[in-house]
């Protein structure tokens, strides 16, 4: 369990499927985290050896999920983060706190020297939240992901180095 200033991150379990699927079905969340069989996708993330999925809790309620994945090749070792939050909790700083909490753990406990995150280029709220944690924009990935509209959309590659991070102190 990872404890932030306002949120708690705990390993997600099958008991979280209904809550997380409900959040993923919210139109604003589904726009960014689309999928066909959400319960199956969430369960696969819970059971995946390549991803660590955490339920984000705020005031004893599951309000979203955050996951970490690692590149383990010693010459490219780093970790990445993805996050989604129930719409009613957007704009309250909870996503920022969740990202900060997981990023600090990945840098200080897991000893990653570099973290990445890749929001959609038009998701200015997410970009600002990640910048508040210490991530920097390092480039635009053109036509990076297919949107719900079927068209290709740009993404932003952001990174944080432990050497530059306010979290490693």
Token pair of 35 as six digits? 């999928």
Kindly state whether residue 166 falls inside one of the protein's structural domains: no
Q: In whole angstroms, give the CA distance from residue 41 to residue 96.
A: 24
Kindly state whether residue 16 falls inside one of the protein's structural domains: yes
Kindly state whether residue 157 falls inside one of the protein's structural domains: yes
Please report which residue ranges of the chain form alpha helices under DSSP H.
Answer: 17-25, 27-32, 38-47, 94-108, 124-133
Kindly state whether residue 102 falls inside one of the protein's structural domains: yes
Count of the separate structural domains present in the chain: 1
For residues 41 and 19, the answer to whether their CB atoms sit within 8 Å is: no
| Residues with Cβ within 8 Å of residue 15, at least 6 apart in sequence | none
Kindly state whether residue 121 falls inside one of the protein's structural domains: yes
Kindly state whether residue 106 falls inside one of the protein's structural domains: yes
Range of the domain at 47: 2-161
Domain containing residue 90: CATH number:
3.40.630.30
Find the distance separating the first CA and the last CA of the chain, reported in whole Å.
Answer: 21
The pLDDT value given to residue 113? 93
For residues 12 and 54, the answer to whether their CB atoms sit within 8 Å is: yes
Kindly state whether residue 168 falls inside one of the protein's structural domains: no
Token pair of 156 as six digits? 């932003």
- Blockwise average pLDDT, block size 10, the chain, 169 residues: 96 95 92 86 92 96 96 91 95 95 94 94 94 95 90 95 76
Its pTM stands at 0.92
Token pair of 155 as six digits? 């993404």
The pLDDT value given to residue 36? 80
Kindly state whether residue 169 falls inside one of the protein's structural domains: no
């Amino acid at each position: 369990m990872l404890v932030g200033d306002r949120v708690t991150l705990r390993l997600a379990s099958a008991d979280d499927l209904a809550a997380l699927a409900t959040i993923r079905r919210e139109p604003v969340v589904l726009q960014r985290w689309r999928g066909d069989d959400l319960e199956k996708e969430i369960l696969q993330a819970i059971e995946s050896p390549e991803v660590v999925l955490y339920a984000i809790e705020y005031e004893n309620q599951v309000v979203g999920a955050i996951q970490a994945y690692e590149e383990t090749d010693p010459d490219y070792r780093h970790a990445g983060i993805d996050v989604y939050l129930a719409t009613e909790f957007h704009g309250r700083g909870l996503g920022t706190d969740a990202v900060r909490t997981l990023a600090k753990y990945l840098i200080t406990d897991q000893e990653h020297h570099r973290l990445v995150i890749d929001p959609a280029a038009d998701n200015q709220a997410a970009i600002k939240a990640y910048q508040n944690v210490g991530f920097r924009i390092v480039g635009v990935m053109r036509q990076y992901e297919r949107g719900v509209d079927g068209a290709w959309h740009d993404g932003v590659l952001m990174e944080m180095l432990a050497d530059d991070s306010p979290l490693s102190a």
